[in-house]
Structure 1
Amino acid sequence: MGKATGFLEFERRNETYEPSQARVKHYKEFVFALSDEDAKIQGARCMDCGIPFCNNGCPVNNVIPDFNDLVYRQDWKAAIEVLHSTNNFPEFTGRICPAPCEAACTLNINDDAVGIKSIEHAIIDKAWKEGWVEPQPAKHKTGKKVAVVGSGPAGLAAAQQLARAGHAVTVFEKNDRAGGLLRYGIPDFKMEKGLIDRRIEQMELEGVSFRTSVFIGGEGFPAHVQNGARETISPKDLRAEFDAVVIAGGAEMPRDLPVPGRELSGTYFAMEFLPQQNKVNAGDVVQDQLKATGKHVIVIGGGDTGSDCVGTSNRHGAASVMQFELLPQPPEEENKPMVWPYWPIKLRTSSSHEEGCSRDWAVATKRLEGSNGKIEKLIAARVEWKDGKMQEVPGSEFEMKADLVLLAMGFVSPVGGVLDAFGVEKDARGNARASTEGDKAYYTNVDKVFAAGDMRRGQSLVVWAIREGRQAARAVDAYLMGSTELPR
């Protein structure tokens, strides 16, 4: 695996960034992928560790030691074949995955992990550049028709796998462009949307049809749920037309902030704020766009979505950006022997934070105040956690000036009513109830209907969505044909 003594000889080589003061002036990607030589050295660090925990740390079970070794040997074409054998879209994960594989790397026990994510990024970018990523249309058609509802990573992965198995696949998307939250939830500076477009072009050449601005759920849904769709189709009609249906929408219902003053203008969900800038970047005209320009911005929520709000606010030219997190500040470094190979809780500073942002932890919002219907300040208090319960610290209340408050506290379930329209049973969290094991993996209680991705498992990572889409495709193929040769 790589060079036998590479992990002793070479230090980790990280990708580099365009300087902060330059990159905040645009919405393009600013990460410089590893050179061939740096990728080779990074691959050389992969140990012959016996049991590669990175494989299981990766939700799609990428064959990581193999492609690390191939990059070390500079056999890039074989490397992309290995990578594509488990991951349909490594250009997505190579950019936005938090890399749980690196947390599980054996070298991470007492040293810096192998830069697996940066190697993946380098492999797929070279593959596209060299023209090695080609359509793979099925040699034989099955005559079966499959509908995929939702064109995020789970829906795209399921659609591509099913098309390659010979089925006629149609992807339905309520937005005006395909890609789901890859398109409208992730800022362009983290992942440019041309990456999605070229995959869709590949999939169309493989036989997948895309129908955008189509809402599956029928009439009577609120406008914000239908999201501007020009056409509606009922689940009943969809099931009548297709031999199988995969519902792969996201967990789009955001967690709200039930405090006094929530109704004031200037307080928005992150997913009201972020998609507008993506639309503008795509050339759309957005009336009354939500902008942070010249405003004192407070982001509530310390995760990736909150970080995306920070980066977008910086590019708008915010006067200041503050990010609050309810939980205590994590340690700078994890206790590796205690947590390895699992995902560690430690302080994470994103590129958006580095561009300019104040952060504070163990802070709870008590109320929002303003005048004439507009927000002017946020009243908060410090909290402490005892025996797993949150308590306000007496006398710790404080206030901050706020012109724009963005709620980025996660997502709780799929949008209301869509699963009900299908008649799909829900679990305790409001997600589609479907097992991932056995003869009816990903199969719901409704005839012909399968569920995958965030709509089934709840808010999660892009790499988990790809895994679920691939596995659901395997289950659908077995359902339609009696057996399947699609990989897990």
Structure 2
Amino acid sequence: MGKLTGFLDYKRKETKERSPRERLRDWQEYQKAWSDETLKQQGARCMDCSTPYCHIGVEFNQTSFGCPLHNLIPEWNDLVYRGQWKEALHRLLKTNNFPEWTGRVCPAPCEGSCTVSLNDDAVTIKNIEKSIIDKGFAEGWIVPEPPEHRTGKHVAIIGSGPAGLAAADQLNKAGHWVTVFEREDRVGGLLMYGIPNMKLEKESVTRRVDLLRQEGVIFQVNTEVGKDISMQQLEDKFDAVIVCAGATKQRDVDIPGREAKGIQYAMDYLTMSTKVLLDPTLELPEAFSAKDKNVIVIGGGDTGADCVATALRQGSKSIVQFGKHPKLPKYRLETNPWPEQPDVFELSYAYKEAKAQSGQDPRQYSILTQRFITDEKGHIVALETMEVEKDTNEKGEVVTQEIPGTEKLWPVDLVLIAVGFEGPEKSLLNHLGLTQTYRGTVKAKYGEYTTNKDGVFAAGDVRRGQSLIVWAINEGREAARECDRYLMGATVLP
């Protein structure tokens, strides 16, 4: 590396952010850019560690080690330190089609596997990645590069999330004609409607989609496979099909009173909120508005945090988020060793904003919702909870035990259910005629991506279940490689 003592000379700097009170007044991105000098110092912290676990990209014990895209992280960190930004961009784009998205919304398993993090703060890999691609766009280095030759082969891709777009980008580079089918009115899948604007500004999505269009990729929106066009029509018209439809069936809660008015799925809430933000002719329906309401989010994950940030901007009266798990530790436990992704307490952007407005973190831990309470018109007015604790039974299994006497009533006007996704929508998979696993995902072996139908591949969450954006891009790239091999007998793709 360029500065062998960089990890000793410089301390990690966290992502630069706009003040929480300021950003609550708008929907613009909350992160700010660092200076080139600061980025140079942060890049210098990347040490010559011989075996860089940051980009090994494997899964073990239900966690990720390093970057699934196998990004050449030490190389572009060193190039940033040397001020060779254009070369750093070339290195970055060798393995990652969309670093402007992963640099913003990926949970960065690479940093959890950083060698420096063994006994110090990890190298700030994610922010350097974001800075490289942002500079690439700002300097005009990223321009349309359509393929010089076309193969004459046509590929259909179902779904325009990160897996579908990565597959489209790779196959287009190989010279195939690619058409992406998206049932929503805009391209991007959950990138467009599932992640709020202050976390991922939609201009970064439309900018990349416009670039893909200029390179020859065709996008067909408002087109739902199984409704507006059949799988048989796709198979008749195209030489191959890649299914990247995601795992969009939202998990529900089986709680008395669930049918009450005023209870929404988190993703429906985020989607509607973003649609209204992007289209000034639309008005947010009262059922999806948090204005002047007591809001409770059920579910302690990132989607729940995005709901908190969205409700705050809509002018909620109060906001609470329930999680059934205890508060995470400040430091790694022995059961969560390096190089696993660290499962530790963090104060994300949404909670900083809530704390700035109300003076407290909105999260409540080890809470289980018992029942929903309605008024005479069937509208939610309160919910009852009980505290829980983790225990180990005689079989050595970790179980959740309710604590008697901890019942509590919470006034609420809007409940948002953010407890994850069950998997792909079965109606679509049944229409496609694809064999499914016991989990309801498409049966297709990792690394091969072939389904029970000849010429039909599956990648991303539709194959693996709910996962990270980097795994979606990884699978989209690899499925494109196998599709190219199927079409041409050999492949030029990595």
What's the TM-score, normalizing by structure 2?
0.94
Is residue 370 from structure 1 mapped to residue 379 from structure 2 by the alignment?
no
Q: Write the distance in 2 (CA, Å) between the matches of 1:126 and 1:140.
A: 30
For structure 2, list consecutive stretches of 5 or more residues without a partner in the other structure.
57-65, 355-360, 393-397
Partner of 1:214: helix, strand, or coil? coil
Partner of 1:279: helix, strand, or coil? helix
* More displaced 10-residue stretch of structure 1: 428-437 or 173-182: 428-437
1:338 CA drift (Å):
5.4
User: Which residue is equivalent to 1:467?
Assistant: 474
8 Å contact kept, 2:381–2:411: yes
Q: Write the distance in 2 (CA, Å) between the matches of 1:30 and 1:103.
A: 23
Partner of 2:384: helix, strand, or coil? strand
Is residue 330 from structure 1 mapped to residue 335 from structure 2 by the alignment?
no
Q: Write the distance in 2 (CA, Å) between the matches of 1:279 and 1:3.
A: 47
8 Å contact kept, 1:6–1:47: yes
Per-residue Cα deviation, 1:48-83 (whole angstroms, up to 9, x for no partner): 011000011001110000000000000000000000
User: Which residue is equivalent to 2:439?
Assistant: 429
1:337 CA drift (Å):
9.3
Q: Write the distance in 1 (CA, Å) between the matches of 2:152 and 2:271.
A: 38
1:79 maps to which of 78, 88, 97: 88
Is residue 120 from structure 1 mapped to residue 129 from structure 2 by the alignment?
yes
8 Å contact kept, 2:273–2:284: no
Partner of 1:147: helix, strand, or coil? strand
Per-residue Cα deviation, 1:433-466 (whole angstroms, up to 9, x for no partner): 10013xxx00100121100111111111111111
User: Which residue is equivalent to 2:430?
Assistant: 420
Q: Write the distance in 1 (CA, Å) between the matches of 2:284 and 2:126.
A: 38
Partner of 2:312: helix, strand, or coil? helix
User: Which residue is equivalent to 1:21?
Assistant: 21
Matches within 5 A, 1:125-204: 125-204=134-213
1:96 CA drift (Å):
0.6
Per-residue Cα deviation, 1:158-216 (whole angstroms, up to 9, x for no partner): 00100010000000000001000000000000011111111111111111000000000
8 Å contact kept, 1:109–1:336: no
For structure 1, list consecutive stretches of 5 or more residues without a partner in the other structure.
219-231
1:13 CA drift (Å):
1.6
Which runs of at least 4 in structure 1 moved beyond 3 Å after TM superposition?
335-338
User: Which residue is equivalent to 1:361?
Assistant: 365
Amino acid across the alignment from 1:241:
K
Partner of 1:210: helix, strand, or coil? strand
User: Which residue is equivalent to 2:3?
Assistant: 3
8 Å contact kept, 2:262–2:380: yes
Partner of 2:406: helix, strand, or coil? coil
User: Which residue is equivalent to 2:60?
Assistant: none
Partner of 1:118: helix, strand, or coil? helix
What's the RMSD between the two structures over aligned residues?
1.2
Partner of 2:234: helix, strand, or coil? helix
Matches within 5 A, 1:468-487: 468-487=475-494
Partner of 2:224: helix, strand, or coil? strand
User: Which residue is equivalent to 1:285?
Assistant: 282
Question: Taking every aligned residue pair, what percent have the same amino acid on both sides?
Answer: 49
Amino acid across the alignment from 1:164:
K
Partner of 1:131: helix, strand, or coil? coil
Q: Write the distance in 2 (CA, Å) between the matches of 1:154 and 1:454.
A: 8
Is residue 452 from structure 1 mapped to residue 459 from structure 2 by the alignment?
yes
Q: Write the distance in 1 (CA, Å) between the matches of 2:302 and 2:30.
A: 17
User: Which residue is equivalent to 2:357?
Assistant: none
2:218 maps to which of 209, 214, 217: 209
Is residue 54 from structure 1 mapped to residue 54 from structure 2 by the alignment?
yes
8 Å contact kept, 1:279–1:286: no
User: Which residue is equivalent to 2:59?
Assistant: none
Amino acid across the alignment from 2:453:
V
8 Å contact kept, 1:2–1:43: no
1:287 CA drift (Å):
5.5
User: Which residue is equivalent to 1:267?
Assistant: 263
Per-residue Cα deviation, 1:228-276 (whole angstroms, up to 9, x for no partner): xxxx001011111100000101111111011111111111100111111
Partner of 1:412: helix, strand, or coil? strand
Amino acid across the alignment from 1:250:
G
The count of aligned residue pairs is 471
User: Which residue is equivalent to 1:31?
Assistant: 31
8 Å contact kept, 2:182–2:220: yes
Is residue 316 from structure 1 mapped to residue 323 from structure 2 by the alignment?
no
Residues 31 and 69 of structure 1, relative CA distance in 2, 3 Å threshold = same
Q: Write the distance in 2 (CA, Å) between the matches of 1:338 and 1:95.
A: 25
User: Which residue is equivalent to 1:380?
Assistant: 385
User: Which residue is equivalent to 1:221?
Assistant: none
8 Å contact kept, 1:422–1:446: no
Amino acid across the alignment from 1:300:
I
Residues 253 and 338 of structure 1, relative CA distance in 2, 3 Å threshold = closer
8 Å contact kept, 2:276–2:284: no
User: Which residue is equivalent to 1:411?
Assistant: 421
1:481 CA drift (Å):
0.4
Partner of 1:51: helix, strand, or coil? coil
Q: Write the distance in 2 (CA, Å) between the matches of 1:173 and 1:5.
A: 49
Partner of 1:417: helix, strand, or coil? helix
